[in-house]
């Protein structure tokens, strides 16, 4: 009996020991799992500490640039005078993609909004819109990199630069961007991500003010007074106030731009348009200005009393006036100006002065027959002109030819940059077969025009809302005789006078023009006709590709129905 009791006791003991071991193993396993989970949380995105501690944090418009680009680094430092410097790379990335170093005059040229500024290396002075101002810093080189005295240029970039010493953070805010503030209604933690199980960046107290970066359903991205950017629960925010709205410049022309050039050469007087109106047109571009040959940026102004009367007529009829500035294909004069910043500046100042003097609304730059190697410098001229006009609320439009053409007539334009900077890029969609053509052909066939519109919007990267399609109010009559081709310009309103009796007009579906061909003696005559029907077809491309508008070369060559058609098809 005693042996049976002892045996049962031993069995119970072994059973208890077995359970104890299992419990210990289970606890151990749970501890391992908990450790793995905790380690996973620590290593998960949003928990790992990615903050910068070895250099100044740079926060630009609510984005921690230094943290985001920490692999490559950003370059910001402060001199003994307290001036903050940004590297050329950072300025290019965030404020001026067209930042330019002028080798000839050893200066930096930068544009932003309505300002153009230049700073010569080593000099404590800056020229803003050609006006000199003293500054505490200068352009300088440090550790193989070039820097701008950014905190001295707040007015140029329209920004506010603030240094938060306790957090070693510099905050740069664009003053033309929206700014919304809020108050914290209870003590809370700022998280690195929009989740509770996440690294805490900063502790906030009730009543603290924050900047709202972006709002979601349960979480809101904010910037704290210390310059930290993170997330808080949306419910902890009160008194949300929009301190500043996005500044959006109003357009001078709402809806479709419809421009007509009014050309009368640089020697004739402006036409008398008294009592005349042009249906569908909202912009006129008279030939008021031309470059002076070898004039180093001087302008020949052909306005006079007739021009003043023209300006009064245009404004009384509600037309904006963007006069044409032509370089008259003076390649050497244009080259001289483009290759020298001071000559470009002189030309720009002259443009601004005459536009202001005659109370005009903008300018149309028509520079043709330029050197292909001056392409980037022509872009510089437009880049430097644009802020001066924007300051005055004036419009800048630039005429260009079709892509992929001749060196001096096509490859001399960087259409992407020009369209990015100017208000409008005007595609002169004519002279498909021009005066120097060795074969007869259309001036502006629909198929050719459409192909090139696609090139502008595609390979050239031109925004559709920037592109104006210019159409010819003329054609050419081609004479083929003894292997030679001779063209004659025929105005649209003269076409019928050049069609002999009995010659039939045949519609060409590719060019969307009427075509005629006839013989007289040993000569064959050909003409692809520009009329209201061909213009209507090309106007359809503006609607099809949602372009900015139309332009016409030139006034007084048209038949009256063109303007009626334009009015009916304009939006």
Burial of 52 (0-12, 13-18, 19+ CB in 10 A): middle
Fold of 178-244: SH3 type barrels. (2.30.30)
Nearest to 287 by CA among 299, 295, 277: 299
**What are residue 244's phi and psi, to 5 degrees?**
-150, 135
Q: What secondary structure letter does DSSP report for 202?
A: E
Q: 566 is written with which tokens?
A: 């334009």
DSSP character string of 344-368 = HHHHHHHHHHHHHHTT--EEEEE--
In the chain, ranges of CATH 2.30.30.40 domains? 178-244
Please say whether the structural domain 57-167 has been given the CATH code 3.30.300.30.
Answer: no
Q: What is the pLDDT of residue 443?
A: 98
Interatomic CA distance for residues 242 and 322, integer angstroms: 37
Tens digits of per-residue pLDDT, 302-335? 999 999 999 999 999 999 999 999 999 999 999 9
Q: What is the pLDDT of residue 2?
A: 52
Nearest to 475 by CA among 437, 523, 425, 509: 437
User: Along the 571 residues of the chain, how does pLDDT read in single tens digits?
Assistant: 555 545 556 555 565 556 655 666 566 566 555 554 444 444 455 555 555 566 788 999 988 887 665 455 567 889 999 999 999 999 999 999 999 999 999 999 999 999 999 999 999 999 999 999 999 999 999 888 999 999 999 999 999 999 999 899 999 999 999 999 999 999 999 999 999 999 999 999 999 999 999 999 899 999 999 999 999 999 999 999 999 998 887 899 999 999 999 999 888 999 999 999 999 999 999 999 999 999 999 999 999 999 999 999 999 999 999 999 999 999 999 999 999 999 999 999 999 999 999 999 999 999 999 999 999 999 999 999 999 999 999 999 999 999 988 999 999 999 999 999 999 999 999 999 999 999 999 999 999 999 999 999 999 999 999 999 999 999 999 999 999 999 999 999 999 999 999 999 999 999 999 999 999 999 999 999 999 999 999 999 999 999 999 999 999 999 999 999 999 999 7
Q: What is the pLDDT of residue 524?
A: 98
Interatomic CA distance for residues 234 and 216, integer angstroms: 8
Element (H, E) at 552: strand 549-553
Q: What is the pLDDT of residue 52?
A: 56
Instruction: Give how far Cα 261 sits from Cα of 160, 272, 493, 543, Å.
Output: 43, 15, 16, 22
**What are residue 35's phi and psi, to 5 degrees?**
-65, -40
Q: Where are the beta strands (DSSP E) in 167-307?
A: 169-174, 179-184, 188-191, 200-204, 209-215, 219-223, 229-233, 237-244, 257-262, 283-286, 289-291, 299-301
257-428 belongs to which homologous superfamily? Answer: Glycosidases (3.20.20.80)
Q: What secondary structure letter does DSSP report for 283?
A: E
Nearest to 218 by CA among 250, 253, 194: 194
Q: What secondary structure letter does DSSP report for 45?
A: T
Instruction: Give how far Cα 204 sits from Cα of 189, 209, 237, 455, Å.
Output: 6, 9, 11, 54
Instruction: Give how far Cα 479 sits from Cα of 185, 441, 488, 523, Å.
Output: 85, 11, 8, 6
In the chain, ranges of CATH 3.20.20.80 domains? 257-428
Nearest to 213 by CA among 91, 94, 60: 60
Element (H, E) at 341: helix 341-357
Q: What is the pLDDT of residue 37?
A: 45
Q: What secondary structure letter does DSSP report for 236?
A: G
On the CB side of 212, how many CA atoms lie within 13 Å of its CA?
24
| Helix, strand, or coil (residue 443) | coil
Tens digits of per-residue pLDDT, 468-497? 999 999 999 999 999 999 999 999 999 999
**How many other β-carbons are positioned within 10 Å of the β-carbon of residue 234?**
16
């Amino acid at each position: 009996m005693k042996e049976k009791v002892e045996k049962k006791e031993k069995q119970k003991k072994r059973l208890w020991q077995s359970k104890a071991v299992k419990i210990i193993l289970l606890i151990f396993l749970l501890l391992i799992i908990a450790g793995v989970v905790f380690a996973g949380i620590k290593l998960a995105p949003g928990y790992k500490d990615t903050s910068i501690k070895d250099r100044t944090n740079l926060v630009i418009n609510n984005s921690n640039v230094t943290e985001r680009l920490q692999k490559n680094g950003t370059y910001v430092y402060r001199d003994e005078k307290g001036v903050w410097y940004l590297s050329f790379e950072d300025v290019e990335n965030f404020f001026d993609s067209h930042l330019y170093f002028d080798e000839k005059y050893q200066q930096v040229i930068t544009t932003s909004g309505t300002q153009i500024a230049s700073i010569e290396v080593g000099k404590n002075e800056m020229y803003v819109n050609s006006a000199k101002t003293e500054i505490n810093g200068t352009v300088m080189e440090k550790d193989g990199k070039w820097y701008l005295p950014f905190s001295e240029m707040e007015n140029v970039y329209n920004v506010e630069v603030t240094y938060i010493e306790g957090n070693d953070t510099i905050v740069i805010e664009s003053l033309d961007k929206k700014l919304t503030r809020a108050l914290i209604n209870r003590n809370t933690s700022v998280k690195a991500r929009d989740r509770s199980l996440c690294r805490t960046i900063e502790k906030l107290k009730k009543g603290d003010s924050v900047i709202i970066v972006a709002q979601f359903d349960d979480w809101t991205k904010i910037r704290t007074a210390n310059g930290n950017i993170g997330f808080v629960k949306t419910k902890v925010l009160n008194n949300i106030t929009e301190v500043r709205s996005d500044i959006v410049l109003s357009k001078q022309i709402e809806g479709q731009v419809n421009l007509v050039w009014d050309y009368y050469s640089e020697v004739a007087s402006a036409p008398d348009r008294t009592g005349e109106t042009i249906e569908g047109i909202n912009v006129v571009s008279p030939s008021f200005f031309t470059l002076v040959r070898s004039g180093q940026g001087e302008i020949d102004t052909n306005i006079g009393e007739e021009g003043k009367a023209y300006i009064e007529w245009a404004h009384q009829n509600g037309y904006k006036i963007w006069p044409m500035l032509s370089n008259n294909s003076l390649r050497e004069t244009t080259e001289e100006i483009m290759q020298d910043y001071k000559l470009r500046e002189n030309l720009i100042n002259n443009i601004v002065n005459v536009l202001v003097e005659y109370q005009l609304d903008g300018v149309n730059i028509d520079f043709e027959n330029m050197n292909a190697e001056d392409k980037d410098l022509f872009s510089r001229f437009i880049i430097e002109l644009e802020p001066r006009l924007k300051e005055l609320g004036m419009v800048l439009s630039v005429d260009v030819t079709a892509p992929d053409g001749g060196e001096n007539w096509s490859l001399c334009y960087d259409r992407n940059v020009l369209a990015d900077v100017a208000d409008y890029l005007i595609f002169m969609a004519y002279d498909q077969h021009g005066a120097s053509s060795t074969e007869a052909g259309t001036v502006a066939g629909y198929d050719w025009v459409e192909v090139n519109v696609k090139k502008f919007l595609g390979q050239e990267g031109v925004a559709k809302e920037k592109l104006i399609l210019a159409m010819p109010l003329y054609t050419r009559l081609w004479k083929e005789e003894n292997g030679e081709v001779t063209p004659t310009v025929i105005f649209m309103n003269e076409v019928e006078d050049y069609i002999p009796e009995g010659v039939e007009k045949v519609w060409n579906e590719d060019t969307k023009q009427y075509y005629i061909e006839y013989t007289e003696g040993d000569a064959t005559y050909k003409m692809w006709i520009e009329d209201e029907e061909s213009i209507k077809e090309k106007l359809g491309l503006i609607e099809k590709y949602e372009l900015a508008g139309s332009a016409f070369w030139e006034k007084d060559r048209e038949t009256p129905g063109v303007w009626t058609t334009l009015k009916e098809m304009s939006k």
